Structure 1
Amino acid sequence: MTNTLAARAFSLLLSALLAQTALAQTPSTAAAADTSSILQEASRLFREGRSFDAKLLLVPLAGRDVPDALFAVGRIEESEGMYARAAELYERAAKQKHGPSINNLGALYAEGLGVPRDPARAVASYREAAQLGSADGMVNLALAIITRATTAQASESPAELVERAANLNHPVGMRLHGSTLMLDAARQRLGFGWLEKAAGAGDAPAMVDVALAKQRGQITARDFEGAARLLQAAAATGLPAAKRELATVYELGLGVPTNTAEAQRLRREVEIAERAAASRAQAPASQNAPANARPAQSSPGQPNLTR
């Protein structure tokens, strides 16, 4: 509770500082600022858990409505549960056709966080973000089409959307593109290469897919130790499927020393996660986050504040 109150107090302070900065600074000052280096430094501070310092660093740029800075502060506000404030910042950046902000605003509408739940507006936002070159938007739009949340417009192909996202090094895009290619026997090796890239980029489901292939000796050489390392990394993100597979690895001693106690611990965690998921599924729709919301943020650790 104390942390929540502190976050809200700082959000109000930030609003005042942004207003003051917009009035106090001249365009030439903002133009002279090294926006890229400021964003990178703020991202570093955020990953270290120093949100306060990151926000203060971004105030001069956000106060002048620099889209990347508005997006970065919005990401921080989201991480602190300040969804209405995040939506406001994304809206300001969206007016300047900032694709990542439009995508994240769509995700807030999909989830009903800080704004009224509006699935149609969410999909429209994903579509606009994709058209503006946002990899997140491409993946979210593809998933919306696949799950029949929307009807594909002319020239909109989910396979092409995820391929475009993959070519932009989007972790989830690379995984989905790789999985699509794997369905074609003639292109399985190419598909597996994309899965490996996604795993290397921190996508936990891709780590599991690659690990299972290594265990079975499919497409790649059998490597139990390498598979175990991948499953350990994926399990560390909290992914239940990874924990379930890792439990079997410890139980059978596949690439690691047999550890029955660790296997049991992992299975207990999976059971707890599954019960929690079932409980969320029974909650009102406005409290549920769709599977296609902001896929890039499924990667482990604090997200970067840059695109």
Structure 2
Amino acid sequence: MKNISIVVFWVMFAFSFLYSSGMGRYEKICKNGDSSACAIVGVIYLSGNGVKQNYIKAAEFFKKSCNNRYSEGCLGLGILYYYGYGFAQDYGKAKELFGKSCTSNNIDGCSNLGLMYAKGRGENQDWAKAKKYFDRACSGGDAKGCSNLGLMYAKGKGAARNFKKASFLYDRACELGSSAGCSNLAYLYAEGRGVEANYNRARTYYKKACDLGDRNACANFSVLKSK
């Protein structure tokens, strides 16, 4: 099954190339106090779409946005600290920023915060807190939050092992577009854990995960085609 993974980027990042054409306009709007515009400029510098990638400039605009309590700005700045983009890696600072983002109901921030507690990054590992934040992210419609919460139930980390509960969460994650959720659900159907063994359904979900870019799922789908 797929391991817990961090939410690195969000919708604005995926569409930053659309925003880059109006870079000057967004910078001007940001200077006039629009926190969302500051976050957009930060994303453009982070992605390097239409401009030269510049983590320092990204941090500058994310900080302006976050200081005005805009959750996407805090999320973006947290990602820079988490990976050490532009300055020294600092898990403690990343956790603080993800926490601010989550407090403002940003589900990606909650999901990332859950990951840090699950991995023990920034402080000691805490599965109870990881579960709390993954659950919050999943309830808000975050695919990776659902997938990671399902993995906790499947492995019995922070909760009693419950494959049926895991299957429900993987199914939700898969519907929300998580390749890991689809692949993990396929595994449960192939092995008959928490659900009745069903190779047809296993193939269906491996195929879906494959279509979402999971190469291991593509290989598993090929293996199951003969069964």
TM-score scaled by length of structure 1:
0.56
* Structure 1 residues without counterparts, runs of 5 or longer: 1-74, 277-307
Structure 1 distance, partners of 2:125, 2:214, is 40
Residues 12-54 of structure 1 deviation map (CA, whole Å, 9 limit, x = unaligned): xxxxxxxxxxxxxxxxxxxxxxxxxxxxxxxxxxxxxxxxxxx
* CA positional deviation for 1:196: 1.0
Moved more, 214-223 or 94-103: 214-223
* CA positional deviation for 1:175: 1.9
Aligned residue in 2 for 1:228: 167
Aligned residue in 1 for 2:100: 164
Aligned residue in 1 for 2:149: 210
Aligned residue in 2 for 1:108: 44
Among candidates 259, 267, 281, match of residue 206 of structure 2: 267
Structure 2 distance, partners of 1:109, 1:213, is 35
* CA positional deviation for 1:206: 1.4
Aligned residue in 1 for 2:109: 173
Closer/same/farther in 2, CA of residues 119 and 157 from structure 1, 3 Å limit = closer
Moved more, 239-248 or 219-228: 219-228
Aligned amino acid, residue 190 of structure 1: K
Moved more, 193-202 or 115-124: 115-124
The answer to whether residue 176 in structure 2 is matched with residue 237 in structure 1 is yes
Closer/same/farther in 2, CA of residues 186 and 258 from structure 1, 3 Å limit = closer
Aligned residue in 1 for 2:65: 129
Does the 8 Å contact 2:111/2:145 carry over to 1? yes
Among candidates 163, 170, 188, match of residue 249 of structure 1: 188
Number of residue pairs matched by the alignment: 200
Residues 100-138 of structure 1 deviation map (CA, whole Å, 9 limit, x = unaligned): 221112212322335454443223212222222222111
Aligned residue in 2 for 1:294: none
The answer to whether residue 158 in structure 2 is matched with residue 219 in structure 1 is yes
Structure 1 distance, partners of 2:22, 2:88, is 29
- Higher RCO, 1 or 2 (CA under 8 Å, sep at least 6)? 1
- 1:58-207 superposed matches below 5 A: 82-84=18-20, 87=23, 90-151=26-87, 157-183=93-119, 187-207=126-146
Aligned amino acid, residue 58 of structure 2: A
Structure 1 distance, partners of 2:148, 2:125, is 19
Closer/same/farther in 2, CA of residues 143 and 81 from structure 1, 3 Å limit = closer
Aligned amino acid, residue 57 of structure 2: R
Aligned amino acid, residue 107 of structure 2: P
Structure 1 distance, partners of 2:61, 2:115, is 26
Structure 2 distance, partners of 1:211, 1:275, is 18
Closer/same/farther in 2, CA of residues 134 and 212 from structure 1, 3 Å limit = same
